[in-house]
């Protein structure tokens, strides 16, 4: 296939996602229904509102503190969110760099929030002083786009910004619903399995 852009999800693709650790950390903060609040793919309630950009991180902290019945700091909340990201496979980073060397345009396409991105888009990301922009050309994140996957608006926004057609794009995600939505716009897809190696499948798709 002739590709002009490869899109990568964040949790469950670039990093191995650990929902149980995030649930544990939010429960420790005092959130009694953390198990119900935290979804592997799409957040709900004010968690979803944060990732859709409907509320700010400060507004999120106010609501979280009210539920926990104690003041929760920004850093405490960040630590809880980062429970999702407990492992960053080197093979994934190596592939991203290889694609850049091949002059293939790459971008992040993630439902996420400012707490997570404060790590992802910082020099702490890979443990070597590099943030995600060292590995990808562009970042498309839900809280800035004001829309969440699997909404078609999420993908239409990217196609419009990039000035390309769906059939010129490959999208890797670990959510069947997100992959299905992308397919409706003619986007080529790979359904990744959280924690498993998807890099060879990507390379096979571009050869």
50-103 confidence digits (pLDDT tens): 999 999 999 999 999 999 999 999 999 999 999 999 899 999 999 999 999 999
To the query of whether residue 9 is one of the catalytic residues in this protein, the response is yes
Would you say 171 and 179 are in contact if contact means Cβ atoms under 8 Å apart? yes
Active-site residue, selected from the candidate residues 9, 137, 173, 197: 9
What are the DSSP E strand ranges found in the chain? 5-8, 16-17, 85-87, 106-110, 138-141, 169-173, 188-191
Q: What is the pLDDT of residue 127?
A: 95
Distance CA 63, CA 204 (A): 46
**Closest to 88 (Cα-Cα) out of 131, 125, 130:** 125
Domains defined for the chain, CATH in brackets: 3-15+86-204 (3.40.50.1000), 17-82 (1.10.150.240)
Quote the pTM value.
0.96
Cross-strand bridge partners of residue 139: 108
Q: What is the pLDDT of residue 40?
A: 65
Is pLDDT above 90 for 207?
no
101-146 confidence digits (pLDDT tens): 999 999 999 999 999 999 999 999 999 999 999 999 999 999 999 9
């Amino acid at each position: 296939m002739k590709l002009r852009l490869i899109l990568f999800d964040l949790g469950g693709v670039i990093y191995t996602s650990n929902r149980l650790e995030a649930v544990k950390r939010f429960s420790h903060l005092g959130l009694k229904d953390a198990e119900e609040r935290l979804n592997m793919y799409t957040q709900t309630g004010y968690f979803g509102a944060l990732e859709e950009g409907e509320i700010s991180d400060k507004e999120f902290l106010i609501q979280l503190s009210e539920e926990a019945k104690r003041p929760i700091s920004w850093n405490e909340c960040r630590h809880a969110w980062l429970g999702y990201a407990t492992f960053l496979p080197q093979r994934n980073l190596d592939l991203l760099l290889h694609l850049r060397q091949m002059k293939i345009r790459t971008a992040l396409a993630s439902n996420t929030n400012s707490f997570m991105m404060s790590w992802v888009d910082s020099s702490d990301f890979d443990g070597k002083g590099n943030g995600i922009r060292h590995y990808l050309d562009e970042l498309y994140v839900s809280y800035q786009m004001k829309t969440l996957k699997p909404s078609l608006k999420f993908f239409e926004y990217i196609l419009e910004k990039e000035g390309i057609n769906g059939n010129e794009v490959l999208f890797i995600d670990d959510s069947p619903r997100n992959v299905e939505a992308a397919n409706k716009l003619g986007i080529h897809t790979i359904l990744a399995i959280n924690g498993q190696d998807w890099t060879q499948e990507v390379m096979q798709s571009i050869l």
